[in-house]
Each structure stands twice: as C-alpha cells, then as structure tokens.
Amino acid sequence: MHLRDAMTTYGESCLRLAYLYTKDWNAAEEIVQDVFLAYANQYDVFRGESSIKTYLLKITANKSKDYLRKKKRWPWLPFGELPEKSTASAERLVEREEEQTQLLEALHRIPLNYREVLILYYYEELNTREIAEWLQCSKNTVKTRLIRGRNHLKAQLKAQDWEVFMHEQF
Amino acid sequence: MNNFKQQLDREMGLDKRFQPAMEQRIMQHITEPQTTKIAWPVIFTSIAATALTILFSLLLMFPETKQSTATPPLAIPIESMHVNANPDEKFYVSTSPFSLGTPLVLNDDKLKYMQILLSNAQPADTSIGDEYIDFPYADVIVKYDTGKERALRIYAFDEQHYALYDVTTHETFKGKLPKNTHNLAQMVPSFSWTFVVKIIIILIIAELLLTFVTRKIFAVPKRKERYVASKQGIIIFFISFSTMFYLGFSASQNALVLLVAISLSTLVNTYFEYRYAPEDRQYIEGIVSTIVAVMIAAILFIWYIMQ
C-alpha cells in the first residue's frame, strides 16, 4: 500500500492509539510521524505476516512504549511540555480540555502493562490470543492482566461511571 | 463497538485529528534528505572487533614464551614450574595463567621429582644434536626459590637416563635416576584433549540449562529470529571466525582468547538486544550468562591455580 494511502486509512487509528499510551497529543503526533517514516523506510522488509493495520499499530505501540520508557528514564527532559504543533485553534484546545472526562484520566492512572491490555482488548478490539501473540506472552497472562486492569479501572472510576462498563465481557 | 471504545473516542474528540497538514508534514519529512545518524552500536562493535583482531594477530606474531634471563645454578631448590608435555620442535612454554597447554605445576611430588632430575644432572661435553629429537621430550620452565628461571628441554632416553638442555645458554646436562624413583613419563602431566572436550560438553549443557531457567524465572519469551539485526549476526560471525582462525593457527591453547571472544560476543548480543529490542527481554539472558560465566571462570581459575 502506498504511504499516502496508508496514512489516510490508518493515520487516525495510529494517532489515537499513541495518545492512549502517552496521554500527550504532541508526543502522539511525533510518534505517528516516526511510525510512517519507519513504514516508508522498512516497507520493503514487511513480511506480510499480518495486515498493514496490525503492522502499523504494532509499530505505534512499540514506539509509544519507547517514548514512555525514555520519559521515565530522563524525567527532567521536557517531554510533553512542547508547544502544540497542530493547527488547532485556542478555542479548540479549551474545548478539548472540557471534553476530557473520567475514563481517559482513569485509564492513564493504571500501570502500563494493564493499560496496554485494556487498550488492545477494548479499544483495538483484539482477542486474547491476538494480544498474547502481540505481547509475546501467554493467553492466561493476558486474561490475568485484563482482570487486574478492570479492577484498577473500577477503583479509579466513580460507581456510576463504572456501571457503564461492568457488563463488558471477555 | 463497545461502550469502552465509544466513551474513549468521545473523550478524545470525535473530530479527525490526523489532519491533511500533518500528512503533508510527514511526506515533507520523508522527501527531505535524511541526515546520516551516527550508528554508535556499529562503531562500537567495529572498534571492539578490530581491537580483538589486532590482539589475536599480536598473540600469533609474538607468542608468549619465557626464557631464562639469568643462569642460576641448576640444582638449587625450585618453587614451581610450567610444563609443555607436547611441544613442537621449537621450544614453547607459556607462563601465562590462561595458557591451557602449559600448566603451572605446584604439586609437591612432581616438584620433588623435578628437583631430583636437576640434582642428578651433570654437565655433559657433547651438545644436543638432531638425533635427540627422536627421543620423547618435554619443555619446562622452572622457577627457583630465588625468583630466577631456567628454560629447559628434558629428553628421556629410557626409564632412567635423561638429558636436560638449557635453550638459552645451550648447556647440556645428562643424568641417571636412582632406581627407586618414578618413571620419567609420570613426571610430565600429559595434556588431555578428552578433558577439554568434557569441559566443553559440560559448558554447553550448563548454558542450555541456564537459558531454560532464565527464561522461566524472568519470563523471557522465545523469539524466532536469532538476531535482532543483521549487523549483529555479521559481527558475531566475525568474532567467531577470527577466534577460530587464531586457535587454528596458534601453538598455544590460550583460554584468554576464548574468554575474550565469548565475553565480546555476549557483550555485543546484550548491547544489540537492549538497544534495539528491549521489549523482547532477550538481553536478560546475556546479563545472566555473563554473571554465571564470570563465576565459572573464577572457579576454574582457582581450581587451576590449586593444582
């Protein structure tokens, strides 16, 4: 698939996934830029074992984790404090702040290994086998992380917010 | 679509965030000439591999052989000795503790026996000729209590008669052993390849066990690819090749060479794994292997010294 087509089709998904990992739109944009740069450079070696969407999302997840690791390692560096590069207007930023509600905040307070599984399972709608392959761990580990992730989420959310998700099954 | 996804999308905003401007920016970035990044891992490993090759080459060109720098009396008390039981025509004894082929002998019985050989030898008028090469011989460097050394080649003519040839001063001594002493052949500890093969097999099994246990304890996942980058494979091949080249052409079986090669390979592997695929956690194996290898090397070294 041509780079421009890949960006048009999957750019939004990659950006949102990067944001769910990093909670920073600037960082997410940088990551997505890196993802498509990597795609452009490495498309020749893409083995076609998975779909392009999965391939791009995997790169996004890995680069997001690299970013978080780097941020953790060098906390004094100004990660996340860069000015907005997007063309969003000031009103848009205010609107975005207002839109931020409980679930996103709660999700970002959960440890990464649980948050990651919740994102992949509920947001990317992968099944436990696919997540296990993705993360190179066992299916049972994924299930355990899902249960613990849900418990973390429950502890973070107010009762009325949790009720909305309590019937989500896996 | 589940509630979770819907809610998250609502909270992140339903408008598209991946704008054409961003797409344009990425395209622009891709078409720009890329500044060449300095490939530190490649530079680092290239320097290390070059240093290793130079070290091996120097060892090949200048093998460590110690020869006596002074000529102490032959029969004074000795402290220790290094023996090469299977020498070539050219005298070769390494006093390096890492040399497998020329072990340090501290065993009392063997030192006493050597002392008898030295004490019973008398200067001979005839010098060593080419015909002596037909007799079994061994190379020895004896270290006296005074700290001085002598490099000697011992020729065994039969069970009792022998000759000592100082390779530095070219003096020849001949002697006859008292009847109640051991056979000459028993003095020389022969280098056993079966021992080395056993050690290698034990090390391979230990490495497999260690890998298995490390994978279980630290939950290191298995990976299809042996190397994370093709450069890694090339560098490891280069290190293995240069080591084999050295060992194939070197007169000594120097354990230091193997130690350096194995350490460097582990270091390169660990570095590449940690640098390029930390999420695969394969670098943990490298760290654990290094710790265990250092412990084994220390134990072997102590055992070797205690012999």
pLDDT, residue A144, reads 92
Instruction: Encode pLDDT of A103-161 as tens digits.
Output: 888 888 888 889 899 888 888 888 888 888 888 888 899 999 999 988 888 888 776 56
Answer yes or no: do A7 and B5 touch at CB < 8 A. Answer: no
Is pLDDT larger for residue B247 or for residue B113?
B113
Give the model's pLDDT for residue A82: 43
Facing residues of B155 across strands?
Answer: B137, B163
Confidence (pLDDT) at A170: 47
Cα Rg for chain A, rounded, in angstroms?
17
State the best of B7, B10, B275 to mutate against chain A, taking most chain A CBs within 10 Å.
B7
Q: Which of A23, A26, A29 to mutate to test the interface with B (most CBs of B within 10 A)?
A: A29
Give the count of Cβ contacts less than 8 A between chain A and B. 85
Task: Return d(Cα B175, Cα B163) in angstroms, integer.
Answer: 6
R_g of chain B computed on alpha carbons: 30
Closest approach of chain B CAs to the CA of A133, in angstroms?
Answer: 11
Res B288: pLDDT: 81
Provide the mean pLDDT of chain B.
75
* Least confident window among A96-100, A158-162, B43-47: A96-100
Query: Identical fold at A1-79 and A97-165?
Result: no
pLDDT band at B40 (very low <50, low <70, confident <90, very high): low
Predicted local confidence at residue A83, as pLDDT: 43
List the B149-156 sheet strands across, edge first: B104-105, B78-84, B137-144, B149-156, B161-166, B172-176, B122-123
Nearest C-alpha of chain B: how many angstroms from A12? 5
pLDDT of residue B69 exceeding 60: no
Whole-number pLDDT of residue A86: 47
Is A20 in contact with B8 (Cβ distance < 8 A)? yes
Digit-coded pLDDT (tens) for B264-289: 788 888 888 887 777 778 888 878 87
Give the mean model confidence (pLDDT) for residues B139-163.
84
At residue A152, the pLDDT reads: 87
The answer to whether the CB atoms of A103 and B7 lie below 8 A apart is yes
pLDDT of residue A95: 54
Segment among B127-136, B199-208, B236-245, B286-295 with least mean pLDDT: B127-136
Distance CA B2, CA B11 (A): 14
Quote the pLDDT of residue B180: 59
Domain segments of chain A: what residues?
A: 1-79, 97-165
Cα A130 to Cα A39, A120, B225: the distances in Å are: 22, 9, 20
Give chain A's end-to-end CA distance (angstroms, integer): 33
Does the distance separating the beta carbons of A7 and B11 come in below 8 Å?
A: no
* Model pLDDT for residues A45-92, shown as the tens digit of each residue: 666 666 888 888 888 998 898 888 777 655 555 544 444 444 555 665
**Domains delineated in chain B:** 41-63+192-306 (no CATH), 78-187 (2.60.40)
Q: In this structure, which topology does domain A1-79 adopt according to CATH? A: Rna Polymerase Sigma Factor; Chain: A (1.10.1740)
What is the structure's pLDDT at B185? Answer: 57
**Dihedral sign from CA coordinates of B177, B183, B184, B186:** negative
Indicate whether B188 pLDDT > 60: no
Q: Which residue has the tokens 């190379």?
A: B139
* Cβ neighbours of B282 in A, within 8 Å: none
User: What pLDDT sits at residue B245?
Assistant: 75
The distance of Cα B235 from the centroid of its chain, to the nearest Å, equals 18
Does the distance separating the beta carbons of B223 and A4 come in below 8 Å? no
What's the confidence (pLDDT) of residue A85? 45
- Across the interface, whether the CB atoms of A36 and B10 are under 8 A apart is answered no
Burial of B263 (0-12, 13-18, 19+ CB in 10 A): middle
Q: Which of A60-69, B124-133, B209-218, B249-258 has the lowest mean pLDDT?
A: B249-258
DSSP one-letter code for A84: P
Instruction: Look at residue A87 and give its three-state secondary structure.
Output: coil
- Which of B61-75, B105-119, B169-183, B231-245 bottoms out in mean pLDDT, i.e. has the lowest? B61-75
A69 interfaces chain B, CB cutoff of 8 Å = yes
Poorest-pLDDT segment among A15-19, A104-108, B2-6, B96-100: B96-100
Q: Would you tell me which CATH number, out of the four given (3.30.70.3270, 3.40.50.720, 3.40.50.11900, 1.10.10.10), belongs to the domain A97-165?
A: 1.10.10.10
